[in-house]
Amino acid sequence: GESVGLHLPTLSVQEGDNSIINCAYSNSASDYFIWYKQESGKGPQFIIDIRSNMDKRQGQRVTVLLNKTVKHLSLQIAATQPGDSAVYFCAEGETGANNLFFGTGTRLTVIP
């Protein structure tokens, strides 16, 4: 499949290490945040979300942290695997608005 060759920030990690991907958001009114994973040749896929009344949420091998004071979001992936190699996007939304705004994305490469 094909994928767009985005000029993105990149992160390379060794297999088995933990990964941290960061995102700064812009809208103070945003109250809903989502992380998406986009593999080569595919559309974005939902990973995990968090509401603004929380500062941490955990999923399977993933944790999202939200710091509203500095408008910062991070995605932590534990024990990174080759299948985690992808582009990761954060997205922000606001209750009452229908659309999401996506960040630039970070390309994660896992080194076996």
Partner 1 sequence: DSGVTQTPKHLITATGQRVTLRCSPRSGDLSVYWYQQSLDQGLQFLIQYYNGEERAKGNILERFSAQQFPDLHSELNLSSLELGDSALYFCASSVGTGPSYEQYFGPGTRLTVT
Kindly state the tokens that stand for 62: 């993933």
Contact 94, 46 (CB under 8 A): no
Is residue 104 close enough to count as binding partner 1 by CB under 8 A?
A: yes
To partner 1, the closest distance from the beta carbon of 15 in angstroms equals 27
50 phi, psi to nearest 5 deg: -155, 140
Judged by CB under 8 A, which stretch of 11-19, 44-52, 54-62, 71-79 contacts partner 1? Answer: 44-52
Backbone torsion region of residue 70, taken as left when φ is above 0, otherwise alpha when ψ lies between -120 and 50, otherwise beta = alpha
Considering the complex, state which of residue 97 and residue 111 has its C-beta at the smaller distance from partner 1: 97
- Tokens for 87, please give them: 């582009």
Q: Is residue 6 a contact point for partner 1 (CB under 8 A)?
A: yes
Site string for partner 1, 14-33 (x = CB under 8 A): ------------------x-
Question: What is the smallest separation between the CB atom of 71 and partner 1, expressed in angstroms?
Answer: 16
Running DSSP on this structure, what letter comes out for residue 22? E
CA angle 89, 19, 66 (to 5 degrees): 55
Residues in the site for partner 1, rule: CB under 8 A?
1-7, 32, 34, 41-46, 49, 51, 89, 92-105
